[in-house]
Structures are given as structure tokens and as C-alpha cells.
Structure 1
Amino acid sequence: MVASSLQISSLYTLCLRGLVLVSLLMCSSKTSFGVDGYLLQMIGDCEYSDSSMTDMLYSQRHVFNQQEFLHYDSKIKKYVGNTACGVKNAETWNKDKDMMAQLLGDVDRYCKYNMGLYRGGTTDREIPPSVRVSSIKPFSSQHQTMLICYVIGFYPREIKVTWLRNGAEVMADVSSSELLPDGDWTYQIHSYLELTPQSGDSYTCRVEHSSLAEAIEETWDPAMPESKRNKIIIGTSGIVLGLVISAAGLIYYKKKATGRILVPSD
């Protein structure tokens, strides 16, 4: 599934607790619009299952304060309301012949056209992920530590992220975020591992992706917590800086002493 870039003009009439909000928006693949604490989003997607793109669909999801109230896709060729307010919008928009005619052409106009423009087509494009592991203290857990593996900026979207403890795969206490589109035809995902570090153990985030000749493995060593590691780095930097300043002072003193003429006193 691939999310394309697109631009749609939409006239919203939102109803919530007696509030009527009318806004004219220019929306991209994911646009947020907030007014006085209310958040409005439109998410557009171009979806397909094979490189031929013969089954490509264009869809829209309209979300107000995290609730989807209206949606459209080119398969059903009309807007459908998810809430009472969404039904009202759908009835109005479905009667707009110009809007509906434009939507029917969006599969070719936006989806296929943009895919053809972007780097000569995205179906054969591969971008390797960048991987980073960090640790935090869980807010509420029976474990002392949570590891986060950030896997960022990869394409295509299919990816496998696993945790290893001393080389063996860990299955328990592992969770993951949803696959998140970055808005530039790449994706990111975050994997989480809760644990109580034991002496001698090492933990590795292993990432497998079609763009990689071999898997990326990023290791976290519980023998040195991240806070302690940062303190050591800062302390070492301070020592080095102190030595540099001391050496510069010594050189300056010797130069001044060499140029000084001693005059004997009576």
C-alpha cells in the first residue's frame, strides 16, 4: 500500500455539540487543521497490490478530533458518512456533480501520475532504513527498562523488526507502533522491548528489509546505562578540553619567558 501526495479542495460543515464550523481547506496527503481546540484532518491514500497498478484505488478519510466521520473511495464512487454529521456532509457532497466527476479521475490524475513522476516510478525503488536504539524508564511496568528501536526512512513498507537477547529471539514483552508514513514515500516504525537488565546480557534490534544485503543489528549493552554513558562522554570531553587549555597556557608562558630580558639590580 502506498500513500500518494494530492491536493483536494473540500468544504466542511462539522456538527459537534451544536457547533457548526465551515472551513475551506487545501489538503495534502495528510492535513491537520485546528480551530479553538478542535482538530480536523483529511488523509488521502492511493492503494494497490501489484506493480501493474490495475487495481489501484483512491480513498479519503475525514477525521474530526480522532473520530472518522466521513470517507470516500473510488470503488464505491461516493462519500459515506460514519456519524450523523458525516451523513449530512455526504448527502451534500454526493450531489455536487463537479466534485464527484473530479474524484472519479483522481486515480489517474493523482495516484498513477505522481507515481510516474517520483524518481521514475516508485514500484522498483528501495531505500534502506536507519536504525537507532535508546532506553527509557517505563511509566508503569514490572520491568526496569524499556528499549525503543527507531527504524526510519525506508521503502517499500514491508519490513521485519525483531529483538534478540544474547543472540536468541525475544518474543515476550515486545510491542510495536503502527507503520507510520513520513509523507515523502518512506515509512518508519518503532519497536519496544520491556526488560529487567541482567549482568552479562546484551540486547539487539535486528532489522530485515529488501533494500539491505544483510540485516542491520543495533545492540544495547545493559552493563552501561545510557545516562551513565552520557556522563562518561561529558566527563571525558571536559578532561580533554582542560588539557588543551593547560597546554595552550604553558606554550604562552614559555614564549613570554623567552622574550624577557633580565637586568641585574645594583
Structure 2
Amino acid sequence: MGTSSLQISSLYTQYLRALVLVSLMFCSSKTSFGVGFSDGYVMQTMVDCDYSDSSMTDMMYSVRYVFNQEEFLHYDTKIQKYVGNTACGVKNAERLNKDKAQLAQLLADRDRYCNYNINLYKPGTIDYKEKPSVQIRSNKLSSSQHQTMLVCYVIGFYPHEIKVTWLRNGVKVTADVSYSELLPDGDWTYQIHSYLELTPQSGDSYTCRVEHSSLAEAIEEKWDPAMPESKRNKIIIGASGIVLGLVIAAAGLIYYKKKATGRILVPSD
């Protein structure tokens, strides 16, 4: 089931009116209820367009009212009326369902917003994809039969379907492999982490292989246990320092030659 959640400022007045109606009809006179609350009570209104990926005929526009983390009332365009989730919600639903003008407006909102958005986002109209980035990090293990855990970070991909496998010397590894849950990044993209516990052996190489619909060919990120990551970083830093030193020395030599060329030699008496 695909979901398009709408938070549209033009609906605010209508929802606020509904909140006021509910607040006037709230069941208990001892309970504070309204747009603002004391004692930590919170009112939430959630508006959704829910639809199937294969059809637009089953589209549902719903408005849900949650008070203090409990949904007590909701509107469903499939049955075109309010439904109470609690005893208090049932009482409010009976009264709200008598407002025919408001019910008609909710149906109009479904046609105006949900139908418009499904035409934008229905399958086949958008081929949005993001390529994943892949990194491997190693961690030492103290309470395991293995010495090392490799973590393959696969980040920033869309859609969420992805295949992550480990290879040892080119052969797929299935033992001691685990995965995190698929984690949404909040910007349409996802990330997932794969873990491999191992005891490094001389001559072995390990590869995290990632297959995704955004890639023409799989990404293969390699890790070589023969050289620890800290040592690789030291070598890289050392090599960078040598290169920088050579550049500075060459620049100094060029400067000296230019100065020497510009001198005028005066014969001594």
C-alpha cells in the first residue's frame, strides 16, 4: 500500500473548525480539550491519501484525530462518515455525521488533493532513483569467537529494494552475516548496514557487493585484512606528506633559479 500524506495549509481552517466542534462536544466536562492544552495533553490531526500501487479506484482520504496518543475519531471516505474509536469518539461521530455540508467538503477535498497527487506519483509516471554509496569499516570484537566485524554501510539509495552480499575471495559468504533494518533517511532515500564476523586470514580478501536498480553494474567495495585500516590511513598520510614536501622543494628550486638568472655579474678589480 502506497501512502501520500498531505499537510496543506489551505485545509487548516476546515480542520480547526472540526477541532472546535469536537472540543465543544467532548464527553467529559472534567477534561481540558482544544487547540492548546495544559498538563501536557496534545491534540493531533493527521490527514492521509492512501492508495494501491496497482489501481486508483480504491483511493481513501482519511482524517484521524488523536488526543493524548490515543486515536478517538476518524473520517473515512470509503464509508463517507466519521467513525468513533472510543466511546467518546462514537458520541462525537454521531453529531459530526449530521453536518452534511462538512461531509460533502471532505469528499471534495479527496477529489481535489488525492486524485491530483496520484496522477503525479502513480507507478510509471516517475522513475526516481538514487545510487547508493558504499563504505566498509572494521571493528575489533572482544566477546565473540571471531576477532573482527566488518560493517558495510550502504547509504542514500532509492527505491528501497536492494541486495547486499559478502564475498570471500570472490565466493559468496552466508555464515555469520547479519543486516540492520531498512532505515529511511527522511529525504526519500534509505540506508542499510550489513555485518560480517570473521577471523582474518593471510591471503583472504573480502568484498561487499551491492546490487540496485539505479546501478548499471554492481558496486564492489573491497577490504584487505592483510593491512589494517589504521595502517592504511597512516601510509596515506605519510605519502601525502612526502608529495607535499617534494612540491615545496621544487617550488623553492624554481624560485632560486629565477633569482640567479636575473643577477648581473660585475667583474672585480
Give, in angstroms, the shift of residue 168 of structure 1. Answer: 1.1
Mean Cα deviation higher: 90-99 or 165-174: 90-99
Q: Does residue 69 of structure 2 align to residue 48 of structure 1? A: no
| Deviation at residue 255 of structure 1 after TM alignment | 0.8
SS class of match (1:134): strand
The structure in which a higher percent of residues are strand is 1
Residue of structure 1 in register with 2:195 after alignment = 193
Q: 1:114–1:49: structure 2 CA closer, same or farther, 3 Å change rule?
A: closer
- In the TM superposition, residue 257 of structure 1 has moved relative to its aligned partner by 1.1
CA-CA distance at 1:245 after TM superposition: 1.2
Which of 149, 157, 172 is 1:168 aligned to?
Answer: 172
Shift in CA distance, 19/176, structure 1 to aligned 2, threshold 3 Å: same
Q: What secondary structure, in the 3-state scheme, does the structure 1 residue paired with 2:129 have?
A: coil
CA distance in 2: counterparts of 1:90 and 1:162, whole angstroms = 52
CA contact (8 A) 1:126 1:210 kept: no
Provide TM-score, normalisation by structure 2: 0.63
Match of 1:159 in 2: 162
Q: Paired residue for 1:34?
A: none
Match 2:41 to one of 20, 38, 41: 20
- Tell me what 2:29 maps to: none
Contact 1:128 1:209 in 2 (8 A): no
Question: Is the CA contact 2:43–2:66 (under 8 Å) kept in the aligned structure 1?
Answer: no
**CA spacing shift, 1:182–1:250, aligned 2, 3 Å:** same
Question: Is contact 1:93–1:99 with CA below 8 Å preserved after alignment?
Answer: no
1:218 paired residue number: 221
Question: Is the CA contact (8 Å cut-off) linking 2:177 and 2:195 kept in structure 1?
Answer: yes
Q: Considering fraction of residues, name the structure with more helix.
A: 2
CA–CA distance in structure 1, aligned partners of residues 253 and 186 of structure 2: 53
Bigger Rg, structure 1 or 2: 2
CA contact (8 A) 2:179 2:195 kept: yes
Partner of 1:7: 7
Q: Cα offset for 1:117?
A: 3.1
* CA distance in 2 between partners of 1:162 and 1:55 (Å): 38
Distance in 2, matches of 1:216 and 1:59, equals: 42
Change (3 A) 1:246 1:49: same
Aligned match of 1:35: none
Equivalenced residue count is: 237
Q: Where in structure 2 are the equivalents of 1:21-36 lying within 5 Å?
A: 21=42
**Aligned-partner residue type, residue 195 of structure 1:** E
Deviation of the 1:158 alpha carbon: 3.0
- Matched residue SS, 2:4: coil
SS of residue paired to 1:158 = coil
The equivalent residue for 1:244 is 247
Change (3 A) 1:106 1:253: same
1:123 corresponding residue in structure 2:
124
Shift in Å at residue 258 of structure 1?
Answer: 1.5
The alignment status of 1:231 with 2:231, answered yes or no, reads no
Gapped regions of structure 2 (runs ≥ 5): 20-32
- The alignment status of 1:148 with 2:149, answered yes or no, reads no
Sort the Cα spacing of 1:189 and 1:245 in 2 relative to 1 into closer, same or farther, 3 A.
Answer: same
Q: Which blocks of at least 5 consecutive residues in structure 1 are unaligned? A: 26-41
Residues 1:246 and 1:175: Cα distance change in structure 2 (over 3 Å): same
Amino acid at match of 2:40: L
8 Å CA contact retained: 1:163, 1:206: yes
CA positional deviation for 1:136: 4.8
